[in-house]
Amino acid sequence: MKKLTFFGLFACSSLIVFSQKKVKEISILPEPVSITRSTGFYKLPDQITVSLPDLPELNETSKSVLGKLVVTGKKVSLSNSKSATIRFILTNGKDKDWMKEEGYYLSVKADGIEIIANKPAGLFYGAQTLWQLMPKEIENETKRDSNNWEVPLVVITDYPRFAWRGLMFDVSRHFFTKKEVRDFIDQMVQYKFNLLHLHLTDDEGWRVEIKSLPRLTTVGAWNVKREGYFGTFAPIPTDEPRHFGGFYSQEDIKDIVRYAQDRFVNILPEVDVPGHSMAAIVSYPDLSCTPGSDKYQVISGETFMDWPGPVARQDNTLCPANEKVYTFLDSVFTEIARLFPFPYIHVGGDECAKNFWEQSDAIKQLMTRENLKTMEEVQSYFEKRVEKIVESKGKKLIGWDEILEGGLAPNALVMSWRGIKGGIEAAKMGHQVVMSPTTYAYLDYMQGDAISEPSVYATLRLNKTYEFEPVPEGVESRYILGGQANLWTEQVYNTRHLQYMVWPRGLAISECLWSPRDKKNWDWFASKVESNFGRMDLQNIKYAKTMFDPIFQVSKDTRDSLVITLSTEIKGLDIHYSFDNSHPDNFYPVYKDPLEVPKDAVMLKVITYRGDQVLGKQIDMPVSELKNRLAKGN
């Protein structure tokens, strides 16, 4: 009996590796609701079997799971056995109602791995967590390795805080291919985002085929390639060929939608009206209130709007007083509604320049006829008519918070981007809200110091993004569907820079939308992000390391000398610096106290290390720039 017991323990040890060291914390993004860790690991056997429910909704999940496990170098197969290595189980939903649509229960024990959920989406999200439990090499598609495939013994219960967890992808300002959109979906689902908002139309291009209005894509999808700082380019010659851009055919859209659905992502289409409509007006000039619109061109990044305002130099708005506009939109939304099964259609409504409306006789007549007092009420008249069109297609209308001005359409959902004020106002009126404020969720903003980043008009650091809280004080949470981060692509020319702008700030948004509020912890989150960079490296995903870069503050002391205070977003970093124009490394002085600029110094160079490991990039800060910032009060 003793021999049998000893033999059983010995056999068990081939599956479980016990550690005498302190149990390491589990690093999962976004943070699960509950993690219970045990000492030891489950070692994957030489033959891995996977049991998955045979459902159409899980076909792609099954392929993904099997494909991922091939990297281990072990034999991988499907099995109906209850003793399969990895078991995906659907419940009847009664005994685990806490999981609802997207929650899951994951356990790693001596007899294998089990993921339980009420719905297929929960099994999918459980799989995303499982990959993060495994060694980072699971992300390496090009190399197979049969060594040391261990998973920590753990029990995780998890479900999302919000149902709406989105990323907005602007494919209008710069066009991105179908493959690039699919790659974007693959990246976002790893971190449990479930909503892709596609900004499909704007002044720079109309990106979705509308078969009844072919000029939208034969004309409106094309402009001229320019590189530099978007919005500052010189006027584009009228005879310059226009072949930069592109669009998605309806078959492309159907393929993207299917691809997203297979990964439990809904797609929200946006047709931005009445402003941001130059591509539509160039295609069909009679949609404008303004004579001469037939001479307009699709915008390529030249200056045509003045800020603040906005004040348009050319009229890029659809005309609310023109009945042809509503016929046009009826055709557009008829086809959009057929392509996108998601119950909402986004109609934009933001940054509508009204200076041309003010000069329009047709608008003045509309105001008299409808008893409209302001231009905001003119836009509200437009939005209410558009809502009826959208609802006639069996959809619900959602728009940016400007649709509140002049009176909100009766059933509209508001996406609050100018801070959270609009969302609060809409929620208190009983309307549903999605929070996407510039203050926390605009991924086109710079991530670090402007001296070292592609210039945009504002900065949003990772630690500020992590402060995002979708439910403001005094607002009933039932009106807040969730939130999303927005990536506008005026300054984003390619998919590598796209990735750089989204990650790691997208990880912060993910945790703010999925994880319980009381589970958020900046220091722990930052350590998880740093650990996750290794996984992104293996996936060839580009990301920003600006969380390691110093933050500059400048002031003057009592002697009127320039004083520089340096800090970092995360703890435990040494800032090495030089004023002598040489490149600092970890043998250079370490910043400890505010620095006084030496007489005649022209450049401060800084770089961050942890021990002997360089983490941040070298930043070269001219003393003249620091003086300018002090003069401006920055």
Active-site residue set = 202, 276, 351
Q: How far apart are CA 622 and CA 602, in angstroms?
A: 6
What is the DSSP code string of 210-247?
A: -TT-THHHHTTTEE----SSTT-BPPPPTTS---EE--
> Using H for helix, E for strand and C for coil, what is the string for 502-517?
HCCHHHHHHHHHHCCH
Give me 473's structure tokens: 């004080």
Task: Pick the closest to residue 489 from 103, 133, 171 (CA basis).
Answer: 171
Task: Pick the closest to residue 486 from 230, 198, 275, 266 (CA basis).
Answer: 198
What is the DSSP code string of 341-397?
A: -SSEEEEE--S---TTGGG-HHHHHHHHHHT--SHHHHHHHHHHHHHHHHHHTT-EE
Using only the alpha carbons of the chain, give its radius of gyration: 27
Residue 127 · residue 139 · CB < 8 Å: no
Q: How far apart are CA 547 and CA 531, in angstroms?
A: 13
Task: Pick the closest to residue 272 from 376, 380, 386 (CA basis).
Answer: 386
- Rounded to 10°, the helix 178-189/495-502 angle is 20
At 318, the amino acid letter reads L
CA dihedral of residues 624, 626, 632, 634 (deg, nearest 10): 160
Task: Pick the closest to residue 623 from 582, 558, 579 (CA basis).
Answer: 579
Q: How far apart are CA 42 and CA 107, in angstroms?
A: 11
At 162, the amino acid letter reads F
Give me 598's structure tokens: 């030496």
From residue 442, give the alpha-carbon distance in Å to each of 148, 171, 488, 505, 595: 40, 16, 8, 9, 33
Give every CB contact of residue 25 below 8 A, 6+ residues apart in sequence. 37, 524
From residue 279, give the alpha-carbon distance in Å to each of 110, 214, 223, 272, 556: 60, 13, 9, 11, 50
Q: How many CB atoms lie within 10 A of CB 236?
A: 17
Helix (H, G, I), strand (E, B) or coil at 328: helix
